[in-house]
Each structure stands twice: as C-alpha cells, then as structure tokens.
Structure 1
C-alpha cells in the first residue's frame, strides 16, 4: 500500500497510509480512531473539531440513540457494539442449517458426516453425544441413528443416504468382485466393499471415490492444499516456503504480532512499531488467534463466546 501525501482540513501535511489519520504532532493512527471519543494522539488533535455528525463513512453503520459508528459487517453479527445495542436490532431471524448439515445444540452448523466422528466439531461436544457403538455389525446413519444388523438389506431404506441398502446386498465377491470397485469382503448379507487409501466409499456401498483431503473444515496443510486422485499436496502463500510436507515458514525478516490496541484488532510491526488496524471495534476480547491458511481472525470475550472475521465481515461462531 502506498503512502499518500495530502493536506488535511486542519492544515497539517499528511504522510500516512490512506486508511490512517495524522495527528498534529506527526503520529499516524487508524482513521477509525478519529473522533471516536478517546484521545489517541499525544496532543489530542484526533478529538478536535469533531462536530458529532449524524453521518458515518461508507461501509459503516450509524448507532441509533447514541454517538458512534461501527463497521457494517458488525451489523447483526450477534455482538452488541453500539452503546445501546442498536446494531443488533431489527435483524432478520437466523436461518437454520442446510439439509446436508447437522445442527449442534449451540446452533452451529456442521457437515452431517462429522457427526459421531470422534472429534468435538460443534465445540459443545453435542455432535459426539449418544455415539456409542451400534452393536455388533450395526449401522450408523449420517444423522447418528443406529440401526441393527438385521435392518441392513431388509428392503426398506431407513438411512437418509441409503447406506443401509447398498447395491451389493445379496452379492458375492466371487461374482464380478461383488460389484465393488476396490476391495470386496463376503458378509452374510452380501458383499462388503472397502477402499484403498485416499478414497472413500460412496453411499451406494460399491463405488470408491477420491477422498478430497483438502475439503473443509479441516485441511492437512498450513496454508494452501491441492487435492489429487488418491492424495494431495501442500503449498504456501507468497513470502513463505514449505517446510516438510505441510508446514509453511516465513522467508522474510519482518515480524508482526497479532494484538489488541484499545478496541482494534490489528498487527504490530515489531521493527517499526507501526500498528495496522484490521478490525474495529472489537469489544471485551480476552484471547486472539488466526487461521493463516484462510486469512481468518478469531477472538473470544470473557463470557466465552467466539467471533470470526474474514477481512470483510464478522460473525459469532460460538455463543457461551
């Protein structure tokens, strides 16, 4: 990002980035700190000549019955950021999960196939409750329901994906490999198909399809992942190099820290001490982290709620 040099309405020469405002003493601060009610310049110039305009800059929402603006992305994100909470009023009702997703007790949506996978994908562990073994040779449907072994191949489809009625019912491996595209094992009810590494069995119980290891929500790579037939490979963003098979290491010598400065989430250049605001305002944060592969930022408040910001908008991912 280049540096613009202009003359402000207060007469000082600006030598700051376009998204910054220059104090009368020459210090650069994030532009959103200008006229926010707190003095950030040592000389207090950022709070001078503030008329309390009823308008907000483009991309921001004007708080109702109070003074201040918040990012438009903060509107209806589940977190009160205006003093009176007006940014969370008159919001459309939150829609439910997709038919292909499973709804956690805390209302988070996860892919149905993550139900009962042994991992706490919901964060409240509701996706792993009532996930005991389905008895000897039992079947677990995508929604977590257990079916007894007798209900496999009984002619009635009971699982939403039809996996309890595979096309290999009544077949034997000695005849055309039981219909299996990869490995076939004879069972009392028919041919049980299995797949080689890097493949997953389709709901029809016979065809093995390539497993997309790069698919969300969990990628094996730190930065970018490219799927291949039966496998995958990792690569890194510009400025990083691959270390081993999945880890990316920075090649430059510029170190930046993810920190909170007042109510702004941003990056502090360790060498220059310059602070670059990423998200503001962020209220009451107690913990910060980021997803380097996707460019997502996360923070938690003292209540335990978790929020995510993707560079354009923010939303609540978990409510305590």
Structure 2
C-alpha cells in the first residue's frame, strides 16, 4: 500500500481507482463524469435538462446536489413522491383562500373575485361595493347608488322624464297652485309665484299666496277732493249733492243749480247758488221756506206804512186816504 503522498499513488478525484497492469484508471462515482483520461470527476448537473432528472416537468423544481439532485414542487402544488409528481393545491378549499367573496383556483395558484357591483381592494382579498354614481353617470340632477346599478332622480318640483335620466320642471300653475282668485299663477324654475290683480297686493301672512284688497282711500283719500269709495280691487271718487265729478274723475265741481234751472224754488222766490247746493229765498212780500212762498198780508200784520187805509195785494200792498185827503207822492202819506 502506497502512502497518499507517494508520487506513485493514484490521483482519482470523485472516482474509484481501478488498478491495471502497470497503471490504474479512475471510475467516476454516480452523478459525476470526467473528460478523456482525466483523473478528476466533476458533478453532473442533472437539473439542466428534463432528460437527466425525473422531477415533475410542469410544476416541479429540480435542485442540483453534489453527485445527485432533489425534487420539490412549486408554490401552490403538493407532492406525495418527493417531487416526482406535483399536484395542484386547491387553495380555495381552505378558508375560501382568504377571499371575502369569490375564490377562483388556478393551476398552482388562485385569485379572488368580487362579482357584480363590487371591486377588489388593493389587498387582493377584500371587496368594496362599487359606487356607480362616483363613476361617470348620465343623470341630469341626482344619482342614487344601488347594488349593481344606479337610478336617476330629480329634486323637488321636478319630475323624471321617460328616458330615466333627464328632469323636467313641474308646472305648478297647472297642478294645484295656491294662488287665490284675485291673483295669477306665474311659473318659475322650481317653484311659482302669485301675481295679484290691480288693486290687490300679496299678503305675507299667507305665504305670499293670498291677494288682499288695497284700500286706496286710506292713502291721500285716493286723490279724491271730496268722497272716496273703496271697492274690491279698485275705488272711485264721489261728490256730495250739488256737485259733479270733473273729467279727471277726482275733482268735484259745483253745479250752479240756479243758472242751470235745476233749482226747485217757488215762483215767488229767487235762487241763491251755494257750494255745494243752493238756497231758495222768498221774494219781498212773501214768506215761507223758499220752496213754498205765500203772500204776506202786510195790512193784517201791521207792517204797512199807510197813514189811513191799507189794501193787501199779492206780494205787496197799496195805501188810500179817507175822504177829504189826497195820497202823497210817496204812496203812503195822506
């Protein structure tokens, strides 16, 4: 037996030495190979080719070792024969794969889904409801989110059109407005107003829906010079007896009943115009209220100025003297 330090000892590495007449040869261990007459055997990488290992060709993992190799399976697979055969691991069978809603198994892996109306969050497992209104929608006014869809709606005093997206203003003037009979309904955007007829104004105590009569006579007597008469929605000027309304329908002018022959005085009286009205004054020699004037008997009343005899006449009297006297020029003295 030669010492290993002896220059005549063999130089086989990773191989068995086989003695031959006058020499020796090196026979590589399993999993090693050498080139030509080399004494050194190097490791064979069985993993470099599918033909040099029996690991699962689809989901197996080959790990080279000195003189051999090991088989294992990719993540998502399992083996019962040390990696020679790899079977898919259905992660969805255990805790639904950690998915909140839907778990979809794939070869060697899995993924989570949320289904209609939900969206997968960044963690890849949780789901959030999809707000369709937050995305682009076609509603003209308001969008109402539903699970899996959205509806359009309209604000107060609007109605949704048949297209389901646009809104049309409700004409309150055609659908039960609250303006009273003294006002007209005026439709506005989203509401309506009451416009009162002339002579009326909106009453704030009734939500501006009731029209109250304006008393024009309460302000400057309606510009009437004498009498102001308020009527529903209007007014008119009137004059006392003996006056007439001028063309301006406000000013009262005196009627001269005397010159217009409207007075009802006695034929034995004269007319004296006043404003308004007139007075009837009995003529001299008559007495009464002016409308009826009777003859005054000056002789009987003793208001004559005759010296001797008094003779009553309609509206006056005459004087005469006793025999032997003559009536003077003044018609009274004898």
Structure number with greater CO (CA < 8 Å, separation at least 6) is: 1
Higher relative strand content = 2
Q: TM-score, normalised by structure 2?
A: 0.23
